[in-house]
Structure formats: structure tokens, C-alpha cells
Amino acid sequence: MSERLALSDDILLKISKPERYIGNEVNAVTKDKNAVRVRFCMCFPDVYEIGMSHLGLQILYGMFNAMEDVWCERVFSPWTDLDALMRERKIPLFALESQDPVREFDFLGITIQYEMCYTNILQVLDLSGIPLEASRRGEDCPIVVGGGPCTYNPEPLADFFDLFYIGEGETQYRALIELYEECREQGLDRLEYLRRAAALPGIYVPRFYETAYNGDGTIKSFSPLEENIPPVVRKEIVRDMTDSYYPVRPVVPFIKVTQDRAVLEIQRGCIRGCRFCQAGQIYRPVRERDAETLKGYAKELLRNTGQEEISLSSLSSSDYSRLPELIDFLIEECGRRHTNISLPSLRIDAFSLDVMSKVQDVKKSSLTFAPEAGSQRLRNVINKGLTEEDILRGAAMAFAGGWNRVKLYFMLGLPTETEEDIRGIAELADRIAAVFYETVPKEKRTNGRVQIVASTSFFVPKPFTPFQWAAQCTGEEFLDKAYQTRNAISEQLNQRSIRYNWHEADASVMEGVLARGDRRLGRVIRSVYERGGFYDAWSEYYDNDRWLEAMAECGLSPDFYTHREREREEILPWDFIDCGVSREFLWREWEKARREETSENCRLKCQGCGAASFGCGICTAPRA
């Protein structure tokens, strides 16, 4: 730990959760800063508790610190109370491990996980004393790198980043750092380093590209400004998950964080092909970690962290081919250690329920189903691969096994949605409640009635999904759909057993603007920040009027980005990125959605998405 803290005792006593800012947690890495060649500050632009729950940050932190010549430290967005004090007392933003100012580092790497955190990125830069625009940074500023899922459309943030790393971080960072060391030794400036970095696979340097627009605001062209700059940036991918770096000594926070447990990533990618899901497309192909390796990781994680719970991380854990074997091992190992097991992303079937009955206290747990849509027609449109029969059968098995609480997740505003589909949400919740009363005799209903919580989020079309061309609803349309859902639930026979929640509509619309936006939105993000906007991902701090005023000031309309359907020929802001899944495949899936046709999962039949070009994972395995 640093011998000094950046914050004085009087500040630490004034702010909430000072543990967020002092570092020195279990497994935090300290090095002699004079003995390393590169200092890398890893940032998650949200509050500490959310950032420390992110597996990607732990992976990169451990990977960088395994390099002898690199010291990686962490920084998060200061909460609003400290933010005000830092501005008032002119305290620069600092990294946790050394407590040194972020501006003194060679690199500032920012994980871009969610669109509504974009204003927090400007907060981090501003508090660090780093010019917001990349073009205004001098030789004494860190190289600002963006990574994470939102870099699959980096354009709204293009003004603020020196470079973006497109894809999975385990593969190209070593080359990026070695190039930095070489350029420094040769006395080359910042611009030349960026020019050479742009030639590395997966690296996108926005300043070397320009966008031209048509009269209607759509993109006319997007092209490199210099001869040796690649016109297409192909994502980076880990081809062998088993041999890739994994952090078995993750940092353990002093305070309770959002995901307060050891995490075991069993695979990347998903075979299912849900048409609304960006992660299911950009992380293709599915690549599994070897079960024996995972067993070793589990033992080390529990030994090195002292955590009381271990969780499997995957987009769809049920699809991991050696899940029964892995779970049997964990049940035995965690039983000996009196450690809990968390199994998210399981499909509700007989095997999953049997496993959950072994690892959960059924009196305290609730089951989660994600039908996403209320009718089978609309589930076919989104290629959910889940029938009402599957859901009701799973519910019946769960109720017979002792569960009496069910959470249901749906989306409102999906393409082709009708009033009948919306009513279907209420009717499905009612049918599940009816299954409970049909399955469980009165004398065994310990809490009287079943508890069903139906939650709806609002559909946001994302890049690199078949719905990237789709129109999004307005805020008013979203709210009308939520009211329709609430009214339909109130008409059901079992309405007293059903509780209904819905997300905020305005923020979902603005998320849609940023998700599919272009470079012109950089001015909007800056204007919102300068009007006092950050922590927009937190409903208590989100101010829709501030965003609308900023857009109007910049001569832009939210409807242009959200409320219109794109034509097939339109150049999309992210078309210069090759994520392995072809535009032709996505358009085919968009057309199939409009015809209400489904596609089989990757394990049953290859759909020719293009990810086989990476030559790894499920694409090289024999079909079932």
C-alpha cells in the first residue's frame, strides 16, 4: 500500500464508503514504480462496487501485473460526494494502489460496458486533468484506450479516445505495450505511436478516419485518412480459452460489492442466436474452458479469496458440454468448504432444477425465467428458442420441488409486437400462477400463495444484431405498452399473486441513441457533462431534459437515431468493424424475424454466420 493516501482524514470521514478509495485490498498488486517500464491505470467508469464486480477488469488487471515490466492499478468514478470535494479542493483523480495521479500514467484503459456511463468517462478524464478531446492531449498525457462491448460502436466516443481495442483483451495488449516501449526508446512522439498502433490487429485509432454525411444525416462514407491505415478493423478473439490467462488471485474488496463472490468463467459465446442479444453475436464462436482446468481454478479461487460463494460465468451455462461433471465436483468441493454455489443463466429443465435443489436453500431462493416475450409468435420473431410448454413444464417441476417464487423477465417494444403480444405477458404470468395451484396441494403451500414478479425492460436495438436495422419505440410508446401490461395483469384471475415492475422509458431511448449513434454525438455527450450530467446510469441522477437540450443545441434529433428503420444499403457507423459475424447473415436473420421463422442453435446446425473464419471453438466441433 502507498505510504500516503491521496485523501486526507477529514475528507475520508466526510464521504460515504471511504473504503472505495484507499486500496490495499486482499490480492491488490503493488510494485516499485521505478522498477517497471510501463504504468497502466485500468478504469471502470462507474462506482467502485459495480466496477469491482466486473470479471473483465479482474482478468486484465491480473494479466498486466503478470508482466514484469508493467504495473497495472485501478481507478473508478468517484461517487458524487467525493466528486464535489475533489473539484472544490482541486484534488486530481488518483489510482488506488499507489495513490498517484492518473495523469502520471502511461496508459489509461477504460472499460466501456454500458452506454449510459459515457458521461462518467468525461468525469474521469476531467478529474484527472486530461483534456477531454484526444486531439488536444500532449506528450505528458496518458494514452487513453477504450475496450469492452460498447467499442463495437465506438463512434459516439471517438473524440475522447486515443485508440480503441476491439475484441477480447488477452491477445494484443502485449504487442501494444511493446510498441509503446519501442517508440519511447526511439524518441517518437504520441502521434507516431498511434499511427503504428493503428496497424496492429484489433486496434482502431479514430483520428485517422473521417466520416462524410448525406443531406439526410445518414453516412455517405467512412474512410481512412492515411495510406497505411486499415479500412476494416477485425475483432481480437481468444482461440483457446483453456490456455488463456485467468485470474485465480482476484482482488477482494473490503466492502460488499454487487457481485460479491468468486467467479469461474466456463465459456465465452452462446449457441442460441437470440436476435436481440448483442453479446450472443459479438462473442461468437462458443469456446469452452476445459473442465479439469476449471476444477483447479475453483480450488485456487476459493483458497486465495476466502469468498463464501462461487458463481459460474457464461451467457448460457446450461450449454456448457461438461456441466454435470463440473457441478458434481463443485458440490463436493464447496460442501467441504461450506461454500455456496451460484448458477446463473441455467435453462429451467429437470437437470437444472435437480442441481439447484442440491445447491440452494429452496425456502430462500426464487427461480428466474426469461421468456422475453409474452407470446410464442413473438418468441419466434426474436428466436428465443423457448416454448410456453417448456416454461410451464419447468414451472410445474419447480413448484413440485419446493419453489414458490418466480421472476419473469420480458421486453416491451420488440419488432412486430402487437397488443396481443403484450397481453400475453399477463396471461403467461397468470398461467404460471395457475400451475402452482394445480401442482401444490393446499397443505404444502407454506406461504399461502405463489409469488410471481414480472419485470419488463424496454427493447434497445444494438449493433451487430439482426435488429440493428429496426426502429425503436419512443418514450411515450414505451410507457403506453407498460400501462397496457399493468392493466392486463390486473384483469387476470391470479392477479394478487403477480407483481409488475418496469424500467424507465426515457433512459432506454437515450441508450438507443448512443448505441447506434455516430461521431456527431460526441458534442452531445460533452454538452450533457458540462451541464452537470454524470452517473446517468443511475435513475436518481439521469435528467432527460438535459440530454434533449444538448441534442437540440447540437442540431440533432433522438428520433433520427431511434425511431426510424434503416434500409439495407445504409452505411451504419460501425460497419468498418469486422466482428466475425457477417452483415449478410444478420440481414438474413432480420428477414427471418419478420417472417416469424426461427433458426436452429449452433450445436444443431451451422447457420453460416461467418464466425467459423476464426477456426476455433464450436465451429470446429462435429455437429450433434
Q: Evaluate whether residue 218 is within a structural domain.
A: yes
- Count of domains observed in the chain: 2
> Is the same domain home to 218 and 272?
no
Q: Is the pLDDT of residue 363 over 60?
A: no
Last residue of a domain, one of 202, 234, 266: 234
Domain that holds residue 158: 9-234
> Is the same domain home to 62 and 122?
yes
> Is the same domain home to 274 and 336?
yes
Q: Evaluate whether residue 69 is within a structural domain.
A: yes
Q: Is the pLDDT of residue 428 over 70?
A: yes
> Is the same domain home to 258 and 293?
yes
Q: What is the pLDDT of residues 316-361, one digit of tens each?
A: 999 999 999 999 999 999 989 999 998 888 887 878 888 877 776 5
Do 598 and 272 contact (CB within 8 A), yes or no? no
Q: What is the pLDDT of residues 514-570, one digit of tens each?
A: 999 999 999 999 999 999 999 999 999 999 999 999 999 999 999 999 999 999 999
- In the predicted model, what is the mean pLDDT of residues 263-273? 97
Q: Evaluate whether residue 321 is within a structural domain.
A: yes
Give residue 229's pLDDT: 97
Give residue 89's pLDDT: 97
Q: Which neighbouring-strand residues pair with 147? A: 111
Q: Evaluate whether residue 304 is within a structural domain.
A: yes
Last residue of a domain, one of 234, 254, 283: 234
Do 106 and 38 contact (CB within 8 A), yes or no? yes
Higher pLDDT, 91 or 335: 91
138: phi > 0 → left, psi -120 to 50 → alpha, else beta; which? beta
> Is the same domain home to 355 and 244?
yes
341 CB-near residues (< 8 Å, 6+ apart):
309, 310, 311, 327, 330, 331, 334, 359
Q: Evaluate whether residue 463 is within a structural domain.
A: no
> Is the same domain home to 164 and 280?
no
CATH of the domain at 20: 3.40.50.280
- In the predicted model, what is the mean pLDDT of residues 15-22? 97
φ/ψ (deg, to 5) at 279:
-60, -35
Nearest to 463, CA basis, from 169, 156, 212: 156
Q: How confident is the model at residue 367 (pLDDT cuts 50, 70, 90)?
A: confident
588 CB-near residues (< 8 Å, 6+ apart):
none
Q: Evaluate whether residue 118 is within a structural domain.
A: yes
Q: Which three cell numbers stand for residue 616?
A: 476455433
Higher pLDDT, 415 or 357: 415
Cα–Cα distance, 381 to 373 (Å, whole number): 9
Would you tell me how many other CB atoms lie within 10 Å of the CB of residue 511? Answer: 22
Which 8-state DSSP code applies to residue 430? Answer: H
Q: Evaluate whether residue 444 is within a structural domain.
A: no
Q: Evaluate whether residue 523 is within a structural domain.
A: no
Chain centroid offset of residue 297 CA: 23
Q: What is the pLDDT of residues 200-244, one digit of tens each?
A: 999 999 999 999 999 999 999 999 999 999 999 999 999 999 999
- In the predicted model, what is the mean pLDDT of residues 607-618? 96
Looking at this protein, which amino acid is placed at residue 576?
Answer: F
Q: Which three cell numbers stand for residue 578?
A: 469486422
Containing H/E element for 13? helix 9-14
Residues in the chain: 624
CA distances from 27 to 95, 100, 154 (A): 16, 19, 33
- In the predicted model, what is the mean pLDDT of residues 571-591? 98
Give residue 1's pLDDT: 46
Cα–Cα distance, 465 to 581 (Å, whole number): 9
Do 180 and 228 contact (CB within 8 A), yes or no? no
Top mean-pLDDT range of 59-73, 336-350, 386-400: 59-73
366 CB-near residues (< 8 Å, 6+ apart):
403, 405, 406, 407, 451, 453
b/e map of 139-155 (b: 16 or more CB within 10 Å)? eebbbbbbbbbbbbbbb
> Is the same domain home to 153 and 60?
yes
Give residue 561's pLDDT: 98
Do 108 and 142 contact (CB within 8 A), yes or no? yes
Question: Which residue's C-alpha cell is 420488440?
Answer: 414
> pTM to 2 decimals?
0.96
One-character DSSP codes across 505-520: HHHHHHHHHHHT--TT
Cα–Cα distance, 613 to 159 (Å, whole number): 32
> Is the same domain home to 44 and 182?
yes
CATH of the domain at 310: 3.30.750.210
Cα–Cα distance, 394 to 473 (Å, whole number): 32
Last residue of a domain, one of 234, 268, 291: 234
Cα–Cα distance, 545 to 566 (Å, whole number): 26
14 CB-near residues (< 8 Å, 6+ apart):
81, 85
Q: How confident is the model at residue 362 (pLDDT cuts 50, 70, 90)?
A: very low
Do 450 and 405 contact (CB within 8 A), yes or no? yes
Q: Which neighbouring-strand residues pair with 109? A: 42, 145
What integer best gives the mean pLDDT of the chain?
95
> Is the same domain home to 296 and 248?
yes
Do 544 and 506 contact (CB within 8 A), yes or no? yes
> Is the same domain home to 281 and 351?
yes
> Is the same domain home to 81 and 217?
yes
607 CB-near residues (< 8 Å, 6+ apart):
273, 585, 589, 599, 600
227 CB-near residues (< 8 Å, 6+ apart):
none
Give residue 360's pLDDT: 67
> Is the same domain home to 225 and 329?
no
